Structure 1
Amino acid sequence: MFLASILSLILYVVLSVFAIVPARGKAKTKLLKWTGVMFLLLFIFGVMLDYLVLLPLTAINILFANIVMAALGLILIYLIMIANTSVGTKRKNKNTTDTSEEGFGVNKRFGILAIVFLVILILAVPTTLIVNISALGSTYKSIPKKAEEEAKPMDKEETPITVSPEFARNKIQKSMSSVPNTQFYDLGKLQVQKVGEDIVYIAPVEFTGFWKWIRGKETEGYFRISATNVNAQPQFVEKKMSYTNSSYLNKYVDRRIYASYPFHIQIGEPQLEVDEHGKPWYVQTIYRPIGLSNKPDMKNMYAAVVNPVTGMVKKYRVEDAPAFINGTISSELASDENMYFGKYVHGWLNSVFGKRDVKIPNESGTETHVTPIFNEDGDMLYFTDMASPKKNIDSALGYTLINARTGELTYYNGKKNNGIMDSKGAKEIVNKEFPEKKWRGSMPILYNIDGNSTWVVNVLDPNGLFKKYAYIKADDADFVVFGDNAKETLEAYRLQLAQDPGNVEATGGSNLKSREGTVSRLLVTNQKNGQAVQFILKGDKTIYTVSAGAEPLAIFMEKGDKVKFKANIRDNSIGLVEEIKISGLTD
């Protein structure tokens, strides 16, 4: 743990010997005594610095720790040498002896030391920059990644939206009075997690300061609230925890991890996750850097899991961690992974000058620029849309989903949906819709709904309270559906899609079903892309929609016509007709 300090002190001894050897008699004795005192003080300072800063023991960190300690040691040695010379000068002045030569010797020796130190510093800074820059390509190559043109359409049973963390935090803050000794605590970092079949936010209560920690010693537990139901209320779970993010000294979670794995770099703040029995655990992503750099090898990532009661730490490969942990890859690392993937596809030089194929991650995410979501298999993924490095272009180049347990990155390049707006544009649409109320868009997520790229956005008031959902067609800023309920808004959006002739090919992955019968009611509607006919059959309450673009003669249908067609029928009694035969018109 104190390796950096020990190496620095070895350097200090070398500097001290260089200063002391030329001295003679009592002057050498005094120098030895004072350098010993300074050595002890410097050792104490180094140990305290290691303890407080928790500097990972990597090659670059140790180098710069030694440079700092060398600079401090150099100053102390000079002060000792000058003080010793001053004492000698006063004594010799009584005997009218000239000491200018001795003072010149001190300055000369110190000048040599200063030049050596300056040379080391001049060499160290560019060397570390070059080492880190050269490792960027290796980090990019180490990312487990794949590319796809388009995400598969959302399942018809799936309701995509989750409650925004701002809204969840707001509701939990109002329930803090349920915490014993609530004056000691504040709300910690929210972490979304799947517990059983429920997707929930977990938020620990944390100490508000050092003296509150001294008084309380243990935190009282954590809050749990649904991440999919805006009407759910937070539940406080009493679980005493001694080792937390807000504890001090050896009870600090980061320090426990550092003590066990000082050669690993921690990234992000440890997050609280709970197992199937409701027991909390702190989880932190750690890694050993590539070569002499501080850059991560994305194929060799680890999770440090801390028991908050005993302080016991255990390390796992991210994919081998206990099954209850959804996020062995932290949101901070996922954000960095997006940056490595987007900027350094052709190396550092290209990211600065040519910028060929460079993609910049947007910063609209809810957790360190990424947004956690869950797929149909229950896996947590981090979502981020990618934009062009060129300014004043608000279209998305694609988006990434990073598996929160393995770090695997899937890039959806959007080739089938060129020209879709990015997350910033989606939020702006919501912001402009309610200017007088100052409602704003939050947590934009891009979904493939029935073959259409769609932004799903939470609408919040200035206090972070949920107001509405917004479904925005990503390639059409005017196609927006607002609603109060996630499922109902989704179905209303699908109905709008079904009525839009431009979406006649949007099958949503459902099988086409054959239908025939007699038209009992019909309505011709004008759409911006043309006309559409909505009709129902006798004995069938399903509303069928056929676009005039798919069958121009459909606008001449009348009540009583016999029809035979194939349609994509949804569970909300809406059918999108793709092939139709109308008796007397098309046959």
Structure 2
Amino acid sequence: MKRRFTPVLILLWLVVMAVSYLFFLPALNPLDVGFWFFVIEGLTLATFAVSLLAFGETIKRASSQKVPGSRLRKDVSISSTYKKPLLYILSGIATILVLLVGLNFFNSRIFRAKSYANVIKVTEADFTKDFPETDISKLALLDRSSAKKIGDTYLGTIDKVSQFGISDDYRQITIGKQPYRVSPLEYKNFWKWVSNRKEGIGYYVKVNQTTGKAELVKLSQPMKYSDSEYFFRDTLRYLRLKYPTTIFGEPSFEVDDEGNPYYVATTYKPKFLLSSKDPDGAILLNAVTGETKRYALNDVPKWVDRVFSASNVISRVDDYYTYQKGFWNTVFSQTGVKKTTDSYNYISIGSDIYLYTGITSATADSSNLGFILVNMRTRQVTNYKLASATESAAQESAEGEVQEKKYTATAPSLVKLSGKAYYLVSLKDDAGLIKSYALVDAEDYQQVTVDNDIEDLIAQFTDSDTSVLSGASNNASGEKKKEATIIQGTVEQLASQMISGSTVYYISSSGQIYKVKASDETTDALPFLKVGDSFSGQLEENHYLSHFKVE
């Protein structure tokens, strides 16, 4: 039985391990934890195989020792032929698990806090003097969900619309120093892939984050390698088979400045034996031809925008500000302990994408000590000192300014206009459409200015040309622009009341009641309004009037 069964088990073991490898795609690298779990899987399968052979041998021996008319003996032990292999295999599994747990524990932040703190270097700077003035022409107004709403409307313009969908990626990059979100088309399911795989994917979508204009880009040659491919043209599987020992992450879609599609896979190397993987380069995969090239971190082409992930950047920044004085300081005195806030966003500066987030104290109050700006291609970190409100405080302040409309504030963008720091917040309705914008003074977050037109809003705070934003509000909302309704009338009745600290004036005219909310932007004549006065204003939702004037 042993001679017949052993080759079958070996073949079965090889097949299962091969299928597992093609499914999980671990790096065949002893510095990768995934590799050791793959080894444990192989040893566990080998344990079952040897146990099965041992069981068959035991049954055979017991049968040969059976006395006619009696039952099989139950005290027949496992043959020594299998005892040692089983012992070696189980010992190997136990040793690997103990080493993995031990190395992970002794290389944790408890023992190596200062090593974690020193992975990155932070350059200190002054926000007012050193932070670049925001380039209005590169102002990223759209978040991912808004870009997706706009981009997805273009799906119906392609050939074979029933065969493809648009990926949910909508990754933020720069193309020619302009901020875009890009996303490739994808096969809707396996059978659509079977029907169309020879032709490939001929389009991707790009959405300009400043103007809100979208474009369905048709490629001169279709993409043959993507995340929606199956088998050996799937990007992750394709790269794994070409680089079996390299540790790399999930490939992400980008396009170069000429519009050629690529997938970028960041490569990693552990900082402390098997612990704390950190980027050391990238692999670029041409989505059309399948050509690949690996780059060291300092050699990655400048058009690549995202080598470092947000989670890696924020984790390293948190380590830097948390563990400068060791681990136990974070538990007890917390002297000098700071951390990033709960919110972050991206801004474009030049041809690069930067992550920014606030730095606050360990007590996590509503104030920031400054802002961190991180280049997502090089991970150069700069801390700009500025006492300011947190991003979440700015969001709440913006929502409070239009609370009667129940808009939801998106994650704010940090902008510098005429030397001052502001949070630019998009305000969305229940359908997820951008209805208005707010500029919140970062240093005094109670100072909020709201406008439905982003061009008009920005123009109030800078002398820069804002014409590039013309029509951006309309494009971002995903709706056709409505003609402004101008109301003119005479005050027949007048009343006012306080709503959450703001005075709202109620004006009855020609059988309609209009509302005007007092703010820094309303006319100084509003408090002196009386019956018989003539007025004009632009009609907004819920009968509110904006651009209110007393004639």
Normalised TM-score (structure 1): 0.69
Partner of 2:127: 150
Partner of 1:409: 381
How far apart are residue 478 of structure 1 and its match?
1.8
**Given residue 179 of structure 1, which amino acid in structure 2 is its aligned partner?**
I
Partner of 1:480: 448
- Aligned with residue 398 of structure 1, among 361, 370, 373: 370
The superposition leaves residues 348-400 of structure 1 with CA deviations (integer Å, 9 ceiling, x where unpaired) of 555566654444333434xxxxx22112x333211122344446x23224321
How far apart are residue 256 of structure 1 and its match?
2.4
How far apart are residue 484 of structure 1 and its match?
2.8
When residues 310 and 248 of structure 1 are mapped into structure 2, their CA distance, relative to the original with a 3 A threshold, is same
When residues 88 and 389 of structure 1 are mapped into structure 2, their CA distance, relative to the original with a 3 A threshold, is farther
How far apart are residue 492 of structure 1 and its match?
2.3
Give 1:531-542 correspondences, 5 Å limit. none
Give distance in 2, aligned partners of 1:97 and 1:113: 33
Contact 1:343-1:358 within 8 A present in 2 as well? yes
- Aligned with residue 172 of structure 1, among 138, 151, 170: 151
Larger Rg: 1
How far apart are residue 174 of structure 1 and its match?
1.4
Gaps of 5+ in 1: 1-29, 366-370, 496-587
1:45 aligns with 2:28: no
Partner of 2:193: 213
Partner of 1:312: 291
When residues 435 and 157 of structure 1 are mapped into structure 2, their CA distance, relative to the original with a 3 A threshold, is closer
Give distance in 1, aligned partners of 2:193 and 2:331: 47
Give distance in 2, aligned partners of 1:131 and 1:443: 38
Partner of 1:82: 55
Partner of 1:102: 76
Contact 1:266-1:284 within 8 A present in 2 as well? yes
Contact 2:256-2:262 within 8 A present in 1 as well? yes
Partner of 1:225: 207
Partner of 1:116: 91
Secondary structure of the structure 2 residue equivalent to 1:398: strand
When residues 265 and 484 of structure 1 are mapped into structure 2, their CA distance, relative to the original with a 3 A threshold, is farther
Partner of 1:34: 5
The superposition leaves residues 471-525 of structure 1 with CA deviations (integer Å, 9 ceiling, x where unpaired) of 1112323200112333431232469xxxxxxxxxxxxxxxxxxxxxxxxxxxxxx
- Aligned with residue 471 of structure 1, among 439, 461, 475: 439
**Range with greater deviation from structure 2 (307-316 or 327-336):** 327-336
The count of aligned residue pairs is 452
Give distance in 2, aligned partners of 1:482 and 1:450: 18
Aligned sequence identity (%): 21
When residues 202 and 114 of structure 1 are mapped into structure 2, their CA distance, relative to the original with a 3 A threshold, is closer
Give 1:436-515 correspondences, 5 Å limit. 437-493=405-461
Contact 1:137-1:347 within 8 A present in 2 as well? yes
When residues 183 and 98 of structure 1 are mapped into structure 2, their CA distance, relative to the original with a 3 A threshold, is closer
Contact 2:222-2:288 within 8 A present in 1 as well? yes
**Given residue 83 of structure 1, which amino acid in structure 2 is its aligned partner?**
G
Partner of 1:237: 218
When residues 294 and 263 of structure 1 are mapped into structure 2, their CA distance, relative to the original with a 3 A threshold, is farther
How far apart are residue 291 of structure 1 and its match?
5.1
Give distance in 1, aligned partners of 2:318 and 2:20: 31
Gaps of 5+ in 2: 464-551
Give distance in 2, aligned partners of 1:136 and 1:55: 29
1:181 aligns with 2:152: no
1:281 aligns with 2:254: no
**Range with greater deviation from structure 2 (130-139 or 192-201):** 130-139
Give distance in 2, aligned partners of 1:114 and 1:156: 62
Secondary structure of the structure 1 residue equivalent to 2:343: coil
- Aligned with residue 254 of structure 2, among 235, 258, 272: 272
When residues 283 and 125 of structure 1 are mapped into structure 2, their CA distance, relative to the original with a 3 A threshold, is closer
- Aligned with residue 327 of structure 1, among 299, 306, 323: 306
When residues 109 and 283 of structure 1 are mapped into structure 2, their CA distance, relative to the original with a 3 A threshold, is closer
When residues 354 and 258 of structure 1 are mapped into structure 2, their CA distance, relative to the original with a 3 A threshold, is farther
Partner of 2:346: 372
Give distance in 1, aligned partners of 2:87 and 2:134: 76
**Range with greater deviation from structure 2 (431-440 or 466-475):** 431-440
Secondary structure of the structure 2 residue equivalent to 1:431: helix
Give distance in 2, aligned partners of 1:108 and 1:198: 67
Secondary structure of the structure 2 residue equivalent to 1:267: coil
Contact 2:55-2:78 within 8 A present in 1 as well? no
How far apart are residue 50 of structure 1 and its match?
1.5
When residues 312 and 481 of structure 1 are mapped into structure 2, their CA distance, relative to the original with a 3 A threshold, is same
Give distance in 2, aligned partners of 1:182 and 1:294: 46
When residues 345 and 491 of structure 1 are mapped into structure 2, their CA distance, relative to the original with a 3 A threshold, is farther
Partner of 2:542: none
1:430 aligns with 2:401: no
When residues 199 and 161 of structure 1 are mapped into structure 2, their CA distance, relative to the original with a 3 A threshold, is closer
Contact 1:171-1:233 within 8 A present in 2 as well? yes
Give distance in 1, aligned partners of 2:269 and 2:437: 42
How far apart are residue 145 of structure 1 and its match?
2.9
Secondary structure of the structure 2 residue equivalent to 1:266: coil
How far apart are residue 305 of structure 1 and its match?
0.8
Partner of 2:26: 55
Give distance in 2, aligned partners of 1:65 and 1:173: 40
**Given residue 347 of structure 2, which amino acid in structure 1 is its aligned partner?**
I
Partner of 2:524: none
Superposition RMSD on alpha carbons, in Å? 3.2
Secondary structure of the structure 2 residue equivalent to 1:265: coil
Contact 2:226-2:235 within 8 A present in 1 as well? yes
Give distance in 2, aligned partners of 1:210 and 1:104: 49
- Aligned with residue 73 of structure 1, among 46, 52, 55: 46
Partner of 1:577: none
**Range with greater deviation from structure 2 (343-352 or 309-318):** 343-352
How far apart are residue 197 of structure 1 and its match?
4.9
Give distance in 2, aligned partners of 1:225 and 1:243: 22
How far apart are residue 97 of structure 1 and its match?
8.4
**Given residue 326 of structure 1, which amino acid in structure 2 is its aligned partner?**
D
Partner of 1:129: 104
When residues 68 and 131 of structure 1 are mapped into structure 2, their CA distance, relative to the original with a 3 A threshold, is farther
When residues 344 and 443 of structure 1 are mapped into structure 2, their CA distance, relative to the original with a 3 A threshold, is same
How far apart are residue 169 of structure 1 and its match?
0.9
**Given residue 479 of structure 1, which amino acid in structure 2 is its aligned partner?**
Q
